[in-house]
Structure 1
């Protein structure tokens, strides 16, 4: 039985994500996630990592040595195992069976899982760079961006570095966000390619950033997602992919992104 003093195991959180807990157990997990930031973050991580493994490995499941795997799984001691908890492992057992079949077939597991991840990415194929940016921006605090707002000439000089490396000419006016302070423009590197980051400080919600990379994926209309407790609006044109990330509400982030997108594309 989970209590408010017990940190749920990954097994329990995974069962919660898969909808395999009783109503009482699910309610306890929800309460813990609302009260404990560490539990909420672990739940978010496991949810993002969840993939439709059973469907993806369906052709291999028929070849997997199920009975042997079930015996092996039953023999593995599980810390804190409780009567009636075997249902919570059912989905993962099917996945282990698929992995066993993959090994028999000589498939490298890490590459297989990566391939499935790409195949089931319904949002867009360039989501990985947004995940990296979100991890980085999540470390920012208002103190990270403390200090005076740089003058227009300093902003222009910082943005000028993007022109040569990214092939993108931006003015301070084009990237200005209403009511939000421009703090700095940095040229970073991701996967061997330049990544532009313009950092802002919103007096209401804290750090915000507009990030840009080259992209040949073609134009994509703005879409919204949540990463690391922040809202992300992302889009692309024929040459670059963009993301605006921050702690503001999704509708406000969308409105801000619409404004800057119109100026950049003009």
Structure 2
């Protein structure tokens, strides 16, 4: 266990992964990783997480009040500004997350700007890592993130078709519909080199909700419940895919919703 050196933060580890540290700083991280198994595991986990945060939140960033943000940047002490002067804006994940933080201060509707990879409250299992990353991602959403009209059925079907091609499924708007909850969009993301489907919804009672699907050969697992980032997660798997429904609704309501969608979706999986 490392006792003489400061444990690196997620930001430090991300900078190490992105190759942005000085040779001295990189050597320090390497030394800690070789000595501390928990830091080594954290580094590996961060390196595997590849959800496209910038792509998903680009529309929100484009709405940021530019003049107000520029005014905030001007107010930063000169010494601190000089520290970042040599690096282009939005070149990596750290700068993108910084932009999310600035947007939050400016009133853009993203409820969390600092991403920490959640380890969850449940026991470790083979599929827990991807659920942790998804929970971090979904925790960024607010109701305003998913504002706007519900897409027409043909638009929903077109979005779902893009997921089908990557995941080997045949999903329909009816199969993924949630009672009393609005379908908002379907996205194809990526985790650990695997396609990860996210179908986002807006529950008028509790806010954002998502059904996420990834290919998995871990085998069938009956639905189970856990808590991540203050949200309820119902997860299960069959012979070919792992599923999770995540949202802010109470656990019993999430379980009931998940059971309905599980029966419909697995009829097509």
Looking at CA atoms only, which structure, 1 or 2, has the larger radius of gyration? 1
Shift of 1:110: 3.1
Shift of 1:113: 6.5
- Equivalent position of 1:199 in the other structure: 200
Q: Secondary structure at the match of 2:265?
A: helix
- Equivalent position of 2:243 in the other structure: 242
**Within 1, Cα distance between the matches of 2:173 and 2:162?**
13
- Equivalent position of 2:144 in the other structure: 143
- Equivalent position of 1:109 in the other structure: 36
Shift of 1:181: 0.2
Shift of 1:215: 0.4
- Equivalent position of 1:170 in the other structure: 171
- Equivalent position of 2:153 in the other structure: 152
Runs of 4+ in 1 over 6 A off after TM superposition: none
Shift of 1:123: 4.3
Q: Secondary structure at the match of 1:198?
A: strand
Q: Secondary structure at the match of 1:183?
A: strand
**Within 1, Cα distance between the matches of 2:248 and 2:123?**
24
5 Å matches for 1:43-58? none
Structure with more of its chain in helix, by fraction: 1
Shift of 1:203: 0.3
- Equivalent position of 1:184 in the other structure: 185
Is the 2:216–2:239 Cα contact (8 Å) retained in structure 1?
yes
User: How many pairs are equivalent?
Assistant: 164
Q: Deviations over 1:71-103 (max 9, x none)?
A: x99xxxxxxxxxxxxxxxxxxxxxxxxxxxxx9
Q: Deviations over 1:159-212 (max 9, x none)?
A: 001111111110000000000000000001111111100000000000000000
Given the superposition, is the C-alpha separation of residues 141 and 107 from structure 1 closer, same or farther in structure 2, using an over 3 Å criterion? closer
Q: Deviations over 1:24-65 (max 9, x none)?
A: xxxxxxxxxxxxxxxxxxxxxxxxxxxxxxxxxxxxxxxx9x
Shift of 1:218: 0.2
Aligned-residue CA RMSD (Å): 2.8
Name the TM-score, length of structure 1 as normaliser: 0.57
More relative contact order, 1 or 2 (CA 8 Å, 6+ apart): 2
